[in-house]
């Protein structure tokens, strides 16, 4: 919006009165001139900067004092051709490349019904992976043809590492204040600690958490299966335990022959994993098909790392509190089970290839 020189002068006087606080200036200006259009805080900053740097209240007519290039039909075609060639380029880069403003590029793309979408990150698959993924999903579908509740009988298990550093999504890290507080966040520590956590999901139940050795090997993993897992299963209904399938991924500690022999005795023809003697083969590089990976660890780490962690005991307490919170929400667990079936259907439809980018479309 264009403001008169008199209005801009009043804005500068108010900005000085507020000692350079642009947001406070918006409030004071609105109180002093209630019948005028109310500018936002950026307008105050722009006017002050323009007067300081250029010695004038007159707005610039274009970047660096030049008028922007006119958007012609030919230039529109060139921009659209470039977008078709590289759909991941930024509108700012396109504007610089073709000598037009970023807003002109945005307006052109909207007119052509072209919208920006986030890129979905997925696990890289090797050439033979889709075959094994498809075979696993077809096995699940075949079992569900005889028993609609078959997938609810699978105990999905996994281990995950929790450290002091946690996870940080800087796109969602903000500090709201009237003036920039120049907030910082420490990410490198002299004193580090780490926990290796085991957990499992079967039907609407979560088992664990269990603190595993930091260096998990076949021997201590077998000890866990023999002495800790049976106690965890005491809280599971007897009928579910009798029909339960055990699932583990292809971690090296899961592969020794004594571990597989124990699973053959404890879950005869009812376990999923790696190895020639596994009744059902778990497809490699498939975190998108186990609830521990696509749900539990992500939800848990968001709760655990909501605020900084100072001690290992505090880290463990937050993990336990987070899992207890999820345990007490059966509605979430039902959605997790339904989501697993949706993923199986999509994986079959895509021939064992990536499908996560299609989840919200179905």
> For residue 68, is pLDDT > 60?
no
Predicted confidence at residue 67, as pLDDT, reads 47
How does pLDDT run across 244-260, given as a tens digit for each residue?
Answer: 999 999 999 999 999 99
How does pLDDT run across 224-234, given as a tens digit for each residue?
Answer: 999 999 999 99
List own/partner pairs for 81-89 with CB under 8 A and 24 or more apart: 83/109, 83/114, 88/119
- Right CATH for 129-361 from 2.30.30.140, 3.30.710.10, 3.30.420.10, 3.40.50.300: 3.30.420.10
Angle made by CA atoms 164, 170, 172, in degrees to the nearest 5: 110
Threshold 0.95, pTM exceeds? no
Alpha-carbon distances, residue 17 vs 23, 26, 36, 52 (angstroms):
12, 12, 19, 17
Q: Are 135 and 283 in contact (CB under 8 A)?
A: yes
Predicted confidence at residue 74, as pLDDT, reads 84
**Average pLDDT, integer, range 186-209:** 85
Q: In terms of Cα–Cα distance, which of 319, 278, 325, 313 is closest to 136?
A: 278
Predicted confidence at residue 322, as pLDDT, reads 94
Predicted confidence at residue 71, as pLDDT, reads 79
> For residue 302, is pLDDT > 60?
yes
Highest mean pLDDT out of 103-107, 168-172, 211-215: 211-215
Under DSSP, the state recorded for 58 is: S
Q: Are 277 and 260 in contact (CB under 8 A)?
A: yes
Distance from C-alpha of 275 to C-alpha of 253, rounded to nearest angstrom? 12
pLDDT band for 201, please (50, 70, 90 cuts): very high
Task: Please give the share of the chain, as a percent, with pLDDT higher than 90.
Answer: 54
Among the residue ranges 44-53, 116-125, 134-143, the one predicted with the least confidence is 116-125
Instruction: Please tell me the CATH code under which domain 66-117 is placed.
Output: 1.10.10
Q: What is the domain partition of the chain in residue ranges? A: 5-59, 66-117, 129-361
Distance from C-alpha of 202 to C-alpha of 321, rounded to nearest angstrom? 19
> For residue 125, is pLDDT > 60?
yes
pLDDT band for 280, please (50, 70, 90 cuts): very high
How does pLDDT run across 326-357, given as a tens digit for each residue?
Answer: 998 888 989 999 999 999 999 999 999 999 88
């Amino acid at each position: 919006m264009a403001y008169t020189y008199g209005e801009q002068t009043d804005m500068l006087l108010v900005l000085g009165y507020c000692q350079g606080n642009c947001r406070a200036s918006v409030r004071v200006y609105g109180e002093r001139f209630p019948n005028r259009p109310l500018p936002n805080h950026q307008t105050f900053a722009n006017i002050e900067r323009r007067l300081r740097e250029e010695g004038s209240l007159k707005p610039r007519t274009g970047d660096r004092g030049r008028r922007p290039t006119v958007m012609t039909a030919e230039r529109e075609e060139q921009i659209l051709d470039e977008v078709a060639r590289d759909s991941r380029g930024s509108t700012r880069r396109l504007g610089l490349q073709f000598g037009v403003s970023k807003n002109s590029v945005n307006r052109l793309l909207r007119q052509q019904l072209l919208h920006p979408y986030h890129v979905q990150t997925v696990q890289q698959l090797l050439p033979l992976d889709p075959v094994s993924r498809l075979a696993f999903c077809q096995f699940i579908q075949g079992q569900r043809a005889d028993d609609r509740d078959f997938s609810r009988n699978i105990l999905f298990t996994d281990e995950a590492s929790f450290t002091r550093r946690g996870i940080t999504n800087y796109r969602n890290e903000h500090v709201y204040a009237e003036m920039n507080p120049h907030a910082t966040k420490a990410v490198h520590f002299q004193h580090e600690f780490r926990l290796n956590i085991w957990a499992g999901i079967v039907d609407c139940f979560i088992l664990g958490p269990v603190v595993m050795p930091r260096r998990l090997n076949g021997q201590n993993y077998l000890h866990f299966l023999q002495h800790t897992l049976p106690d965890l299963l005491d809280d599971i209904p007897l009928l579910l335990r009798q029909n339960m399938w055990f699932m583990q991924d292809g971690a090296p500690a899961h592969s020794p022959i004594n571990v597989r022999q124990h699973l053959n005795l404890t879950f005869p023809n009812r376990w999923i994993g790696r190895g020639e003697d596994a009744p059902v083969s778990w497809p490699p590089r498939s975190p998108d098909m186990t609830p521990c990976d696509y749900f539990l660890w992500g939800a848990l780490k968001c709760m655990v790392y909501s605020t900084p962690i100072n001690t290992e005991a505090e880290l463990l307490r937050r993990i336990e509190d987070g899992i207890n919170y999820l345990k007490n929400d059966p509605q979430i667990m039902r959605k997790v089970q339904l989501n697993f079936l949706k993923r199986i259907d999509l994986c079959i439809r895509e021939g064992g290839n990536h499908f996560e980018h299609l989840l919200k479309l179905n």
